[in-house]
Structure 1
Amino acid sequence: MRFMIIVKASADTEAGVMPEEPLLAAMARYHEELAKAGVLLDANGLRPSAQGWRVRHSDGRTTLIDGPFTETRELIAGYTLIQTRSREEALEWTRRFPAPHGPGVDAEIEVRQLFELDDFAPSPSIERFRDMTVDGGG
């Protein structure tokens, strides 16, 4: 089972303020533990939305919208992707996630399970996706 731990953005992350060393150290320790346990798949921070864009599909048209985006609480500052044997194991790991904006700073992470190809009914399209994946899409 794969889960994405989503770190919500803050005014500081959107301003491009880099984390200070104590927070970087806490995040490094946490991610080292994930790696040692064999559950870490990927993790990274995202640059501010001012450096990004969105593509909107509406009324049959495609529109490109440059950042920044104003709703900070809806933006993502970073993520960690883990693979565990159960939802409970993922929950235990996420309880240990360091305060993403530092101790004493209000923050929120969201955790969402990823769909696996086996969650979908068999079809030619699903087989095409399975052929594209490195691990067979399990």
Structure 2
Amino acid sequence: MPRYLTMVRIDEKNAPAEGPGPELMERMGALIEEMTKAGVLLDTAGLTPSSEGTRVTWSGGELSYTDGPFTESKEVVGGYAILQAKDKAEVLEWTKRFLQVHEEHWTVTSEVREIAEG
């Protein structure tokens, strides 16, 4: 079965300062448990803010390092999930459910990409 990487993108400037509330965490926990029991969820985690990150770039034969926050980025990857499913349609259905556990004041985008095997 193919594996997929779902990158959860958020706008750090407009995300709630207090982060996810307890109700959201409860709904998310229930969905994660369901996905795990279904054998679809292989791994998932949130990421620290971009202000704590570093970008490493290789260009013109040289490395450069840029410490966050990355002001030129509107959206940053705030978390990820690795899913294994029969096809992309199934992964998109799980992704839809993940996005819908968030309250209306959240703006969250998930980019779904199949992991190249081989």
Say yes or no: TM over 0.5: yes
Report the TM-score when normalising by structure 2: 0.85
Stretches of structure 2 that go unaligned for 5 or more consecutive residues are none
Provide, for residues 40-85 of structure 1, a one-character-per-residue CA deviation record: whole Å limited to 9, x for no partner: 1100000001111010111111011111111443310011111012
Corresponding residue SS for 2:74: helix
Alignment check: 8 A CA contact 1:14 1:48 kept:
no
Separation in 2 of the partners of 1:27 and 1:71? Answer: 30
Q: Aligned in 2, Cα 1:37/1:3: closer, same or farther, shift over 3 Å?
A: same
2:47 pairs with 1:60:
no
Which letter does structure 2 place at the counterpart of 1:110?
Answer: E
Q: Which has the higher helix share?
A: 1
2:86 pairs with 1:85:
yes
Separation in 2 of the partners of 1:14 and 1:103? Answer: 11
- Choose between structure 1 and 2 for higher RCO, CA contacts under 8 A separated by at least 6 residues: 2
Report the TM-score when normalising by structure 1: 0.74
Tell me which structure has the larger Cα radius of gyration. Answer: 1
Corresponding residue number in structure 1 for 2:32: 31
Separation in 2 of the partners of 1:26 and 1:62? Answer: 42
Q: Which has the higher strand share?
A: 2
